[in-house]
Structure 1
Amino acid sequence: MHITVVPASPKTGQATIRSLLADPFNPTVRAYYRDLSKVPSELKSNPRFEAVKGDVEDAGSLDFSGSDAVLNITPPLYEEKDIIAHARLVSENVKAAVKKAESVKRLVLLSSVGAQYAHGTGEILTNHEAEVVLKDAAPEVVFVRCAYFMENWATALETLPQGFFFTTLTPLDHALPMIAVQDIGSTCAAELLATGTALPSSPHIFELHGPRAYTSADVQKAFEEMLGKSIEMRSVEKSGLHDFYAAVFPPGVAAHFAEMNKSYLEGGILYEDPQPTPGEKRYGNTELVDVFRQMLGAGESP
């Protein structure tokens, strides 16, 4: 089996590739990178792995010929652009490449919890747009709607040496489903390797959560367990979310992230969830504290 991952540079793409290359079915993997210097060295030496220079923004750079299945990840945008128009563009480019290849039987889209909504979810709206465009891109289409990434807490690595971290998950006892990148990778790999197996429907949609939901207090406990000392938690209330994100991102990007954050807090559309994802929920096995240990060992953000 031949599988394409586009783009391959996100942590979720790398986790999927590693799961595929470790699978006894021995698939071959083609991975698209805008910058080939970003290809991990351990992948380059694998004879079943091929790194290709290409960009989802450039339809002409995508060639999926010979591929049985494709994993698509909608890349985040951290500059002042129309995020919906950008998501539509890159999704249309991927769809065109799938159709042109003819060999592709299955498309797996890494999506997000809340992608069913066309409003009120901020940055998640890019996943909604991708789902709209790609719902009929291949004979078999799978949308993996992931919960909040545990690795998003990597931003705390900057302040933990000073003994504190910020949390935007309020109230502090509000539990939120979270999922580890390595569990996302293994799940996406399994869906890709199942190409040719009948789906209940197409697109087949399911949510992917971790073993349990976590509160800010659970995050604090996990950091303290990992570091072996007390850690202060500094909460960012809803009214301060835009300013909090604006300290890192341009104003428009900050607005999207603030709206996304509010969507899963009390009063937000994902908190109420009037149109939940139909069908199944799946659960990973990786606990939050294990992800934190991995992040600390790696010494870098995802």
Structure 2
Amino acid sequence: MDIVLGASGHVGGTVARRLLEQGRAVTVVLHRPEQAAEWSARGASMAVLDVHDTPALATAFSEARRAFLLNPPASPSLDVDREERRTVQSILEAVRGASLEKIVVQSTYGAQDNPHCGDLGSLYAFEQGARETGVPLCIVRAAYFMSNWYGTLSTARQSGVFSSLLPKDFKAPMVAPQDVGELAARLLVAPVEETGVYNIEGPEPYTAEDVATALSTVLERDVAVDEIPRQEWPEFYHRNGFCPEAARSYATMTGIFVDGRYERPRMSLRGATDLQTCLRNQASTLSR
């Protein structure tokens, strides 16, 4: 049996669906019981639990052979650096308490040993801890998620403007989360001996201006970018529900990304989904 964390999200949901389509026995780990009906209809088993309940998670893992692992994002109203590492430790302790034959971990470009840089730091800790379990391991490092722009669809539709912390002309590697899930599912079912780090980004890099162009096409109206100056990043995060600690951490993470203070992979796999298609698919989903 395979077990999948994060099935209610874009990446984990794609992993679980692809495994089920192959006729594999799949258990999805869910946080809310109301999410169970959809997955039951698809033929999955469910484990409804809090990932911080390490014994319950270990019990779920003990019934599986392979696991797709991701670290659910902490609420930005909390200190994300502390909370996400707490989640990482619970997941890893549960892995150590099971007898899994292979794990696939979702990570990110720019993962690094830094205690206050949001996902970059917590996912670095996740990678390192996963290696220390000794379980055969694939790490999927994803570029900037195109889904980070999903929240702009409503604003852009209403006002014709969306905010961007990325400079308008900053060209960045981006990837559709579904393409990340496709890769993770393939690696999970691959032979145990197929391990290592796999980097993935989309067909080409994009700027915030490219996002505006894609939104203009998808929404059939003119859309412009409101670039947020660097000195206003912490306040922007704070206005959008981040506590002071989380705002500082995410502002640091954004700076690392924009400044390129991370090692870009020498080789990357390419997802098939372009930015416009990704945004159009999400707009279609929201309109149902």
In the TM superposition, what whole-angstrom CA distance separates every residue of 1:162-204 from its partner, at most 9, and x where no partner exists? 111112111x2210011101101101101111142343xxxx1
In the superposition, relative to structure 1, how do residues 142 and 35 fare at CA in structure 2: closer, same or farther (>3 Å)? same
In the superposition, relative to structure 1, how do residues 150 and 40 fare at CA in structure 2: closer, same or farther (>3 Å)? farther
User: Is residue 282 from structure 1 mapped to residue 274 from structure 2 by the alignment?
Assistant: no
User: Is residue 118 from structure 1 mapped to residue 119 from structure 2 by the alignment?
Assistant: no
Percent of aligned positions that are identical:
24
What letter is aligned with 1:234? D
What letter is aligned with 1:162? S
User: Is residue 132 from structure 1 mapped to residue 133 from structure 2 by the alignment?
Assistant: no
Aligned residue in 2 for 1:162: 159
Supply the distance in 1 between the matched residues of 2:37 and 2:120 (Cα, whole angstroms).
28
Structure 2 residue runs without a partner (length 5+)? none
Supply the distance in 2 between the matched residues of 1:27 and 1:136 (Cα, whole angstroms).
28
Check the 8 A contact 1:105/1:138 in 2, yes or no: no
Aligned residue in 2 for 1:187: 183
Aligned residue in 2 for 1:223: 215
Which of residues 60, 63, 67 is equivalent to 1:66?
Answer: 63
Supply the distance in 2 between the matched residues of 1:67 and 1:195 (Cα, whole angstroms).
16
Give me the TM-score of the superposition, normalised by structure 2. 0.91
Supply the distance in 1 between the matched residues of 2:21 and 2:240 (Cα, whole angstroms).
37
Aligned residue in 2 for 1:50: 45
Check the 8 A contact 2:138/2:197 in 1, yes or no: yes
In the TM superposition, what whole-angstrom CA distance separates every residue of 1:231-267 from its partner, at most 9, and x where no partner exists? 12211121111111111122222222211111111xx
Aligned residue in 1 for 2:143: 147
Aligned residue in 1 for 2:250: 257
Supply the distance in 1 between the matched residues of 2:92 and 2:118 (Cα, whole angstroms).
24
In the TM superposition, what whole-angstrom CA distance separates every residue of 1:99-119 from its partner, at most 9, and x where no partner exists? 3222x1111111111113436
Supply the distance in 2 between the matched residues of 1:33 and 1:122 (Cα, whole angstroms).
23
In the superposition, relative to structure 1, how do residues 198 and 179 fare at CA in structure 2: closer, same or farther (>3 Å)? closer
Question: Offset at 1:297?
Answer: 1.1
**Aligned residue-pair number:** 283
In the superposition, relative to structure 1, how do residues 231 and 85 fare at CA in structure 2: closer, same or farther (>3 Å)? closer
User: Is residue 97 from structure 1 mapped to residue 101 from structure 2 by the alignment?
Assistant: no
Structure 1 residue runs without a partner (length 5+)? none
What letter is aligned with 2:18? S
Give me the TM-score of the superposition, normalised by structure 1. 0.87
Supply the distance in 1 between the matched residues of 2:79 and 2:218 (Cα, whole angstroms).
40
In the superposition, relative to structure 1, how do residues 12 and 35 fare at CA in structure 2: closer, same or farther (>3 Å)? same
What letter is aligned with 1:284? G
Which structure: greater helix fraction? Answer: 2
Aligned residue in 1 for 2:228: 236
In the TM superposition, what whole-angstrom CA distance separates every residue of 1:190-220 from its partner, at most 9, and x where no partner exists? 1111142343xxxx11221111100111111
Which of residues 202, 205, 225 is equivalent to 1:210?
Answer: 202
Question: Offset at 1:145?
Answer: 1.0
Question: Offset at 1:147?
Answer: 0.8
What letter is aligned with 1:194? A
